[in-house]
A = this chain, B = another copy of it.
Amino acid sequence: MRVIPKDKVIFHFNTTNEANYTVSDGEIFWVEVDDCYSGQITDASVKRPDIDISIMDCAVGPINIDGAMPGDTLCVEVLAIDLADHGIMVTNCGLGVLGDRITEPDTKIIPVHDGFAHFSDDIKIPLTPMIGVIGVAPKEGEIHCAVPHDHGANMDTTMVKPGAKVYFPVAKEGAGLAVGDLHACMGDGELSGTGIEIAGKMCLKVKVYRDRPIERPVIETSDGIYFLASRPTLDESIKVAVSDATEFLMRKFNINFPDAYRLMSATCDAQICEVVDDNMTVRVRCPKFDNRVQTL
């Protein structure tokens, strides 16, 4: 199985990046990635203000998928995530929801083994490995990898984990997939501004669909279909994701807007992905409560 190494990266998703790799439709492959700091935090003495932020938050790629064309939908199935032997959690003044209560930067190196992140000698956290940055070329312009939007990127979504299928709208021939920013553990919200940031590799399977157009990322798991949106405020993001979920129900059940709106309210959950990036990402979960809502 092919292993894509971590040395060729992008800092922006855009319409002009040339592919660094090409895989075939249906291919299964591994991608190696550094942590979000590009490996600059080598020990606890290196604090967040000490590093070169111009080389953090990158993504390995672009990886083109043979035959993917604008208007298609790319499905990226996460098959496995293999983590390095330690992760990093920094604090920094102003970072995260309570960053105003942090008075000095601090770095913690967290050993990862035996299914746990060893936060301290006596605190073990069960691992919840996930991919923070995953996206494709946007329709237009250039967007830094740290910023999530309709093309994906830094969605910091705990659902992007083994077993999930993540769908993206293809805007450019080949799609231009790029990935990075693994987390060993993270709760919904990424509330202190980081998860347990870690290097590692991920095993992905890609598939191109021509019959299920979407405008924004959608995630499918065994128990639901999640409509994602990333906008400057939570309110805006919720409105976009709720609209997508309602239109999905209109289409699947062949019902009018007011009925789909009610059905959505009675069944679907608004959920927080992250609240600490330049856009805030939410998802609306439609549970698989009926045979008609089993797939996108």
Contact = CB atoms under 8 A, between A and B. Distances in A.
A110 B237 CA distance: 30
Contact of A265 (B194, B255, B264): B194
A261 B125 contact: no
A182 interface: no
A188 to B, nearest CB: 4
A119 to B, nearest CB: 6
A170 interface: no
Contact of A289 (B91, B108, B126, B246): B126
A116 to B, nearest CB: 10
The copy count of this chain in the complex is 2
Nearest to A124: B290
Task: Give the size range of A's interface with the partner.
Answer: 35 or more
A117 interface: yes
Contacts of A258: 91, 102, 106
B265 A186 contact: yes
A190 B124 CA distance: 36
Contacts of A255: 120, 123
B108 A262 contact: yes
Nearest to A89: B262
A139 interface: no
Chain B CB within 10 A, most for which of A126, A194, A265, A289: A265
Nearest to A239: B97
A239 B102 CA distance: 14
Interface in A192-230: 192-196
A98 B270 contact: no
A3 interface: no
B101 A263 contact: no
A118 to B, nearest CB: 12
A174 interface: no
Interface string A55-72: 000000000000000000
Nearest to A188: B269
A271 interface: yes
A268 interface: yes
A232 to B, nearest CB: 12
Interface string A216-257: 000000000000000000110011001100100000010101
Contacts of A153: none
Contacts of A178: none
A191 interface: yes
10 contacts: A91-B261, A101-B257, A102-B258, A123-B263, A125-B263, A126-B289, A189-B242, A234-B234, A238-B275, A270-B275
